[in-house]
Structure 1
Amino acid sequence: MIPTSRAWALRAGLRRTTPKPRCHTLDLSHEVRCGTTKTVKRWYASPKPVGQKAPESVTTIPGPNWLWLEPIYEPFRAYGRVQRRRPYMTQFISSLVIYLVGDFVAQSIGSPAPVENVEGEEEGERGWVQAWAEDRDWARTGRALLIGGAAAVPGYRWFLWLSNSFNYSSKTLSLATKVAVNQLTFTPLFNSYFFGMQSLLSGMTIPETIERIKNTVPVSWINSCKLWPAVTAFMFAFVPIEYRSIFGGVIAIGWQTYLSLLNQRAAAKAELEHTPEDTKTRAVRRCEEDGETVEEKCAA
C-alpha cells in the first residue's frame, strides 16, 4: 500500500507548514496578521495638543489701563441706545437741558438784578439756595426753554439731512461743503430765530424785534465763524451719528450762554436809548461811580 503524502511526511520527519495568507493593504486586520503595518499619516487627524497661553492678567502685574474710563463711557453708551430707540424725545429733552444750563450760566456771569432788602432784614440772613432762587430771572429761563424745545426736532432733522447729503468721492470736498452750507444757511437762520423769539416773548413789537435782529445777528454770525466750522467738521468726520447731538450740545452750552449775554446786552442798550434823558444821566452817573464806562456796562 502506498502511503499518503501526510503519512510519508510524518515518517520522513518533515513538518507541514501552513501557507501564510495574502496580505491586502486595504484590510488593516490582514496587515496586523502579516506584520506589515506601517504608520500612515492621515490628513484628517487632529493636531497635536498645544499648551494654552495664560491670561495676561495672570502673567503680568496689573498696571494703568483704560478701565478707569468705563464709568464715563457707560452714560454715553446708554445715551446712544436711547437715541436710536426714541430720537425725537431724546433730542427734545437734551435741548431743554442745554438751554437750561446755558441760561443759568449766562445769568450767573451777567450782573444780577439788584434785590431790595426788606426793612430789618439783612442780606446775610438768606440761605444760598434762597438767594440763588431769588436772583434768577425765571421768566427769562422760561423763554429759553420754550425757544430750545421748539428748535430741538427741526435742528436734529437738519443735521440728519446734512449728514446724508453732499457725499462726494472726495471726503475733504464733502466735509468742506457740509461746513459751508451749515454756516451760510442754518447759522444765520437759527440766530435770527433765537433773537426774534426772545424779543417777541419779552413783549416787544415787530419793528423792535426786527431792530433787535439787525443789531445781534451779524455780530453773532461773525463770532460763530470762529467756532462752529471747526466743531462741525470734527463732528461729521469723527463722531458717530447717534452721538453728534450730545457732542454738539456740550459745545452749545457755551454758545447759548454767549447768545443769551448778547441778547441781554442788546436789550440793555435798547432800553438805555429809549429812556428819558434824566434817567439816562443817572444811569451814566451810576456807571461812572462804579469805575466803568457806559460802553462796558450799560450800553454793552
Structure 2
Amino acid sequence: MTELNGLQTLLGMYQKLLRNHPIPTKSLTSAIIAGLGSNLSQLLSGSPLSMESLRAFVIFGGLVTGPVTHYFYTLLDKLIPGPGLLKYLLRLLTDRLIFSPGFLVLTLYCLSRLHRESHSKAVENLESRYWTCLVGNWKIWTLPQIINIGLVPVQYRVLFGNMVALVWNMYLAKTKK
C-alpha cells in the first residue's frame, strides 16, 4: 500500500507541475526519458555507455522534443477542433503524414550535430537513415498515436509520447551504429 501512496503522491506532484509549468515539466520528462532510452539501448546491445550519446539525447529531449510536441498537440487540437471520426482521422493523418516526417528530419539532423558531427556528415547521416527510420516510425508510433490522439487528454500526450519514445529512442540509438 505504501508504494501506491508514493505513486499517487508523485502523480499529484507531476499534475501540479504540469498545471503551473507545462513546458519545463514536459521538457524535463522528455530529457530524462530520452537519456534513459539511449542508455538502455547501449546496455541491451552490450555496448559501453557513452556519455556523448546520453548528453545528445538528453539535450534533444529537453530542448526540442518537450517544447515542440507540447505546441504541436496544442495546435493540432486548435486547428482541427471537436469530436467526431473525421476530425480524429484528420488529426491522426496530420501527425503521421506531416508532423512525423518533418520532426524526424529535425531529430536525425540534431542528434547527429549533438554527437558533434559536422553539418555535411549530419546531412549524409540524414540521407542514409531517413527512409528506414521513417518506416520504423510508422511501425512503432502509429498504434500509440491512435491511442494518444484519440483517447489521451492533451495535457498528458507528451508524457504518453515520452513512454513510447523510450522504445523509439532505443531504436534510433541502435540504428545509429
Letter in 1 for 2:16: R
Instruction: Give the aligned partner of residue 140 of structure 2.
Output: 227
For 1:258, the aligned partner's letter is Y
C-alpha displacement at 1:201, in angstroms? 3.1
Aligned counterparts, 1:54-203, within 5 A? 72-112=7-47, 135-151=48-64, 152-167=66-81, 171-203=84-116
Q: Distance in 2 between matches of 1:78 and 1:201?
A: 32
Give a deviation string over 1:163-197, Cα, whole Å, max 9, x none. Answer: 222125x6111111111111112212222122212
**Correspondence for 1:250:** 163
CA 1:79 to 1:110, structure 2 compared with 1: closer, same or farther past 3 Å?
same
The one of the two structures with greater contact order (alpha-carbon pairs below 8 A, sep at least 6) is: 2
SS across alignment from 2:176: helix
User: Structure 1 residue 72: deviation in Å?
Assistant: 4.0
Query: TM-score when scaled to structure 1?
Result: 0.54
What corresponds to 1:206 in structure 2?
119
Q: Kindly provide the CA deviation profile for residues 252-273 of structure 1, in whole angstroms up to 9, marking residues without a partner as x.
A: 1111111111122xxxxxxxxx
Letter of the aligned partner of 1:156 in structure 2?
A: H
Instruction: Give the deviation of 1:70 after TM superposition.
Output: 5.8
Number of equivalenced pairs: 176
> Any conservation in 1 of the 2:42–2:49 contact (CA below 8 Å)?
yes
> Which whole-Å CA distance do the structure 1 matches of 2:140 and 2:45 have between them?
22
CA–CA separation in structure 2 for the residues paired with 1:183 and 1:85: 30
Deviation >6 Å, runs of 4+: none
CA contact (8 A) 2:73 2:154 kept: no
Instruction: Give the gaps of 5 or more residues in structure 2.
Output: none
- Give the structure with the higher percent helix: 2
Aligned partners of 2:41 and 2:170 also within 8 Å: yes
Assess if the C-alpha contact under 8 Å between 2:69 and 2:158 holds in 1: no
| CA distance in 1 between partners of 2:26 and 2:138 (Å) | 24
1:217-236 superposed Cα distances (whole Å, 9 cap, x missing partner) = 21111122223222122122
Q: 1:91 offset after TM fit, Å?
A: 1.2
C-alpha distance in structure 1 between counterparts of 2:8 and 2:141, whole Å? 25
| Alignment-mate amino acid for residue 163 of structure 2 | V
User: Rg larger in 1 or in 2?
Assistant: 1
Percent identity at matched positions? 18
Task: Could you tell me which runs of 5 or more consecutive residues in structure 1 were left unpaired when the two chains were aligned.
Answer: 1-67, 113-134, 265-300
Matched letter for residue 256 of structure 1: N
